[in-house]
Structure 1
């Protein structure tokens, strides 16, 4: 899997993960992957092994608090489904975040998750 990130100044970063998979619905769409490479910083390994959470399906309310469905783990170091905000913002971690690159007070302009069948 490759994740591409762009900020509002036109800067780009990427993160790649090997052996990527998502389980079926009966297992909660659990996220699994192996090694990270890239220049964005590894903000996804924190979520490895987590089930996909939505506002109506999460015991810790992370999807509700951080405004988007994601593979939360009490709660997140990345959230590519958060609110679309204009770059730097004052609210905590509710934007489109990749903590290891821009932190929790910056919402990215664009993101892309790409998968290739192995």
Structure 2
């Protein structure tokens, strides 16, 4: 009787029940619906809202780090905004470079990029690992191996690049790629993909829209694009 009472008085420790780091932690706490949740990658005093994709096709669940779907949010923004994040997790948003760094410095993640055109066709590109370095290193992008889901590989070209915005040029081009192509991203010289470019409803000016070169080229701006990450060790 005493042992039973003691067990009842000791609170259960459920991983991530109070301060989940990502959407996978939230799922393991008993929440299985797609939607907006709060995570704490920097600790209990720094809540961040994210959209969680709790799709049933894997054990590990996806944390959405970027989403474009209707042009309702302006993505042509400065460094500080890309650092801290903007938009609404219920709609279009950018999670924030600092949050991405905090997430990927302690856990190993893979990246999936889902895309849809205005004709309703859906494809994806997947990368075996994804991490973002610290601000002191320009929030450098590091990617693993590519897996094709019909989109082709338009991101490996930008692997190893620092992040560039209209007011902070860290790309490999002699000019500022963010200013040239009205976006912000891990540009090289300049891009094969421009997920944060201008929302343009299909046909667009060369390189300025939401492009994925290996699927739709430089003059087609996608209807939707979503970048999301999940823990590698629990993906099966």
Match of 1:28 in 2: 138
Query: Structure 2 unaligned runs (5+)?
Result: 1-110
Match of 1:17 in 2: 127
Match of 2:100 in 1: none
| Structure 2 residue corresponding to 1:61, chosen from 176, 193, 196 | 176
Match of 2:48 in 1: none
How far 1:27 sits from its partner (Å)?
Answer: 0.6
Instruction: Say if 2:211 is the partner of 1:101.
Output: no
Which stretches of structure 1, 4 residues or more, deviate above 6 A after TM superposition? none
User: Greater CA deviation, 15-24 or 52-61?
Assistant: 52-61
Mapped to 2, the partners of 1:18 and 1:83 lie a distance apart of: 28
How far 1:117 sits from its partner (Å)?
Answer: 2.9
Mapped to 1, the partners of 2:227 and 2:142 lie a distance apart of: 14
Q: Give the TM-score normalised by structure 2.
A: 0.49
SS of equivalent residue, structure 2 residue 129:
coil
Q: CA RMSD in A?
A: 0.9
Match of 1:37 in 2: 147
Query: Structure 1 unaligned runs (5+)?
Result: none
Q: Give the TM-score normalised by structure 1.
A: 0.95
Match of 2:226 in 1: 112
Name the structure where helix makes up a greater proportion of residues: 2
Q: How does 1:69-88 map to 2 (within 5 A)?
A: 69-88=184-203
Match of 1:51 in 2: 162
Mapped to 1, the partners of 2:224 and 2:154 lie a distance apart of: 16
How far 1:92 sits from its partner (Å)?
Answer: 1.0
Q: Compare CA radii of gyration and give the structure with the larger one.
A: 2
Mapped to 1, the partners of 2:169 and 2:220 lie a distance apart of: 24
The superposition leaves residues 11-66 of structure 1 with CA deviations (integer Å, 9 ceiling, x where unpaired) of 01100001211101111010001110122000000000000100011152100110
How far 1:100 sits from its partner (Å)?
Answer: 0.3
Mapped to 2, the partners of 1:19 and 1:95 lie a distance apart of: 26
The superposition leaves residues 67-91 of structure 1 with CA deviations (integer Å, 9 ceiling, x where unpaired) of 11100001000010000001012x2
Mapped to 2, the partners of 1:117 and 1:28 lie a distance apart of: 23
